[in-house]
Amino acid sequence: MTVRHLTTTVAAVTGLAVALTACGGGDDNTSTTGGPLALYTWVSSQSDREQWESFIAEAQKEDPDLEITVEGPSFADYWTKVKTRFSGDDAPCLLTTQAARAQELGSLLMPLDDLVEEHDFDLSEVDESMLEGMTVDGSLRAIPYDAEPVVLFYNADAFAAAGLTPPTTEYTREQFVADATALTTDDHKALAVTPGMFIPAAWATAGDASWLNGDGELDLTNGDFVDEIQSYFDLVAVDGVANAPNAADASDVSQQAFTSGQVDMLIEGPWMYGTFDEAADFTLGVTIVPSPSGQPHGMTAGSGFGIAATCDRPDEAFEAIVALTSTGVQESLAASRGIVPARAEALPAWAEGKGAGAADVVSALLSNATAQVTTTTWNQVETLMTQYSVEGFRGERSAEEIMQTIQDSVGG
Partner 1 sequence: MEVMTGTRTAAAGAPSAPATPRSGRRRRADGRVAALFLAPGLIGFVLFIVVPLGGSAVISLYEWPLFGSPAFVGLDNYAKLFGDPAFFTALTNTLIFAFVYTALNLVLALAIALWLGTRLKGAGIWRVVFFLPVITPMVANALVWRLMLSDDGALNSALGTVGIEGQSWLSDSRFALAAVIAMSVWQSFGYNVVVITAGLTSIPKEILEASRIDGTNPWQRLRHTILPMISPSLFFASTMTMIGAFQVFVQAQVLTQGGPGESTNTLVLYLYRNGFSFDRLGYASAIAWMLFVVVMLVTAVQFAGQRRWVNYDK
Give residues in contact with partner 1 (CB under 8 A): 1-3, 6-7, 10, 80, 83-84, 86-87, 104, 107-108, 195, 243-248, 377, 379-380, 383, 386-388, 390-391, 394, 396-397, 409
Nearest CA-CA partner of 329 in 39, 53, 128, 97: 53
> For partner 1, which is the closer residue by CB, 72 or 338?
72
Instruction: Return the sign of the alpha-carbon dihedral for residues 124, 129, 135, 137.
Output: positive
Write out the H or E segment, with its range, that includes residue 259: helix 251-259
> For partner 1, which is the closer residue by CB, 191 or 206?
191
CB of 185 to partner 1, least distance (A): 15
- Name residue 314's beta-bridge partners: none
CB of 393 to partner 1, least distance (A): 8
Number of H helices, E strands in the chain: 17, 14
| Strand ranges inside 214-309, DSSP E | 265-268, 284-287, 298-301, 303-307
> For partner 1, which is the closer residue by CB, 54 or 380?
380
> For partner 1, which is the closer residue by CB, 225 or 388?
388
> For partner 1, which is the closer residue by CB, 3 or 23?
3
What DSSP state is assigned to residue 124? G
Based on its alpha-carbon atoms, the radius of gyration of the chain, rounded to whole angstroms, reads 24
CB of 360 to partner 1, least distance (A): 37
CB of 21 to partner 1, least distance (A): 12
Nearest CA-CA partner of 250 in 159, 379, 386: 386
Strand 298-301 to 303-307 pairing: unpaired
> For partner 1, which is the closer residue by CB, 145 or 198?
198
CB of 380 to partner 1, least distance (A): 5
> What strands lie across the sheet with 68-71, from one edge to the other?
68-71, 37-40, 94-98, 303-307, 142-144
CB of 412 to partner 1, least distance (A): 14
